[in-house]
Structure 1
Amino acid sequence: MNNFLFVSAENDAIPDCKAGGMGDVVRDVPREISKRGDKAHVVVPSYSRLHKNGIFKTKLEFSLRGIPYTAELYEVIPKKVDVNITHYVIHHPEILEGGIAHIYHDDPTEPFFNDFIKFIIFCTATAEAIKIGAFGDLDIVHMHDWHAAALLFIKKYHPNYQDLKKMRYVYSIHNLAIQGIRPFYNNHASVNNWFPEIQLDHKALMDYRYQDCINLMAVGIRLADAVHTVSPSYKDDVLLPSRRPEFIGGESLEVDLQKADNEGRLFGILNASNYGNIRVAEKGLLYRNTVKALFRWLQDTSKKYKADFLAHTGEKIMQYVGNRPKFIVSSVARLTEQKFYFLKRSPEAFEKILVRLTKVEGIFMLLGTGDPDYEEFFREMSYKHKNFIFTNGQSEDLIDSMYLETDLYFMPSLFEPCGISQMLAMRNGNPCLVHHTGGLKDTVAHMKTGFAFSGETYDQQIKNMVNSFDEALTLWENDKPAWKKIQNNAKKARFTWEKSLDEYYKSLYLL
Structure 2
Amino acid sequence: MRILMLAAENDCISGAKVGGVADVIRDVPKALAEHNVNVDVVIPDYGYYHSHYQGECVAEVSFSFAHQQHSAYLYKLHAISSEKVAQYVVVHPLFQQAGESRVYCHDEDNRPFAKDATKFALFCNVIAECILQGHLSADIFHLHDWHAATLSVLLKFDSRYRDFANTKLVYTVHNLALQGTRPFNGDDSSLEAWFPSLSYDGQQLCDPRYPFCYNPMRAAISLVDKVHFVSDSYAEEVLYASDHQNGIYGGEGLEQVLAGNSDKLVGILNGCEYSNEPEPKVTLDCFLRSSKSCLRNWMSRFEQLKTVHYLANEQITLWQDSPQFKGPIVSSIGRLTEQKVRLLLERVDGELVLSTLLLALEQKGGRFIMLGSGDSHYEFQLMQLMAKHGNFLFLNGYGQSLSDDLYLLGDMFLMPSSFEPCGISQMLALKAGQPCIVHGVGGLKDTVKHNENGFVFEGDTISEQVVSLQNVFNDALNCYMNESSHWQTMINTAKASRFSWQSSIEQYLSKLYNY
Shorter-normalised TM-score: what interval?
A: over 0.9
In structure 1, the partner of 2:354 is 350
Q: Which of residues 438, 443, 446 is equivalent to 2:442?
A: 438
Partner Cα separation in structure 2 for residue 6 and residue 288 of structure 1: 41
- Tell me if structure 1 keeps the 8 A contact 2:204–2:218: no
In structure 1, the partner of 2:164 is 164
Q: Residue type of the partner of 1:254?
A: E
- Tell me if structure 2 keeps the 8 A contact 1:13–1:78: no
In structure 2, the partner of 1:195 is 195
Note if 1:318 corresponds to 2:317. yes
Q: Against the structure 1 CA distance between its residues 485 and 280, is the aligned structure 2 distance closer, same or farther, given a 3 Å change threshold?
A: closer
- After superposition, the C-alpha distances for 1:270-298 in whole angstroms (9 at most, x for unaligned) are 01111149997552231121111001111
- Tell me if structure 1 keeps the 8 A contact 2:346–2:353: no
Q: Residue type of the partner of 2:38?
A: K
Q: Against the structure 1 CA distance between its residues 488 and 344, is the aligned structure 2 distance closer, same or farther, given a 3 Å change threshold?
A: same
In structure 2, the partner of 1:178 is 178
Partner Cα separation in structure 1 for residue 300 and residue 450 of structure 2: 43
Note if 1:223 corresponds to 2:227. no
Q: Secondary structure of the residue that 1:445 maps to in structure 2? A: coil
Note if 1:292 corresponds to 2:293. yes
Q: Secondary structure of the residue that 2:208 maps to in structure 1? A: coil
Partner Cα separation in structure 2 for residue 280 and residue 359 of structure 1: 31
Partner Cα separation in structure 2 for residue 306 and residue 278 of structure 1: 40
Partner Cα separation in structure 2 for residue 151 and residue 269 of structure 1: 23
- Tell me if structure 1 keeps the 8 A contact 2:16–2:46: no
In structure 2, the partner of 1:87 is 87
Partner Cα separation in structure 2 for residue 219 and residue 306 of structure 1: 46
| Map 1:254-293 → 2, pairs under 5 A | 254-261=255-262, 264-276=263-275, 282-284=281-283, 285-293=286-294
* TM superposition shift of 1:223: 0.6
Q: Which of residues 373, 379, 383 is equivalent to 2:383?
A: 379
Partner Cα separation in structure 1 for residue 184 and residue 77 of structure 2: 35
Note if 1:452 corresponds to 2:461. no
- Tell me if structure 1 keeps the 8 A contact 2:417–2:439: yes
- Tell me if structure 2 keeps the 8 A contact 1:97–1:103: no
- Tell me if structure 2 keeps the 8 A contact 1:18–1:101: no
Q: Secondary structure of the residue that 1:429 maps to in structure 2? A: coil
Q: How big is the alpha-carbon RMSD for the aligned residues of Structure 1 and Structure 2?
A: 1.8
Partner Cα separation in structure 2 for residue 469 and residue 500 of structure 1: 31
Give structure 2 stretches of 5+ with no counterpart.
none
Q: Secondary structure of the residue that 2:342 maps to in structure 1? A: helix
| Map 1:95-174 → 2, pairs under 5 A | 95-96=95-96, 98=98, 102-109=102-109, 110-135=111-136, 137-174=137-174
Partner Cα separation in structure 2 for residue 442 and residue 100 of structure 1: 37
- After superposition, the C-alpha distances for 1:375-427 in whole angstroms (9 at most, x for unaligned) are 11111111111111110111111101111110010000000000000000000
Give structure 1 stretches of 5+ with no counterpart.
none
Partner Cα separation in structure 1 for residue 337 and residue 305 of structure 2: 19
Partner Cα separation in structure 2 for residue 82 and residue 360 of structure 1: 51
In structure 2, the partner of 1:369 is 373
- Tell me if structure 1 keeps the 8 A contact 2:15–2:47: no
Partner Cα separation in structure 2 for residue 278 and residue 149 of structure 1: 39
Percent of aligned positions with the same letter in both sequences?
A: 38
Q: Residue type of the partner of 1:219?
A: A
Note if 1:393 corresponds to 2:397. yes
* TM superposition shift of 1:200: 3.3
Partner Cα separation in structure 1 for residue 387 and residue 304 of structure 2: 16
In structure 1, the partner of 2:212 is 212
Q: TM-score, normalised by structure 2?
A: 0.94
Q: Secondary structure of the residue that 1:366 maps to in structure 2? A: strand
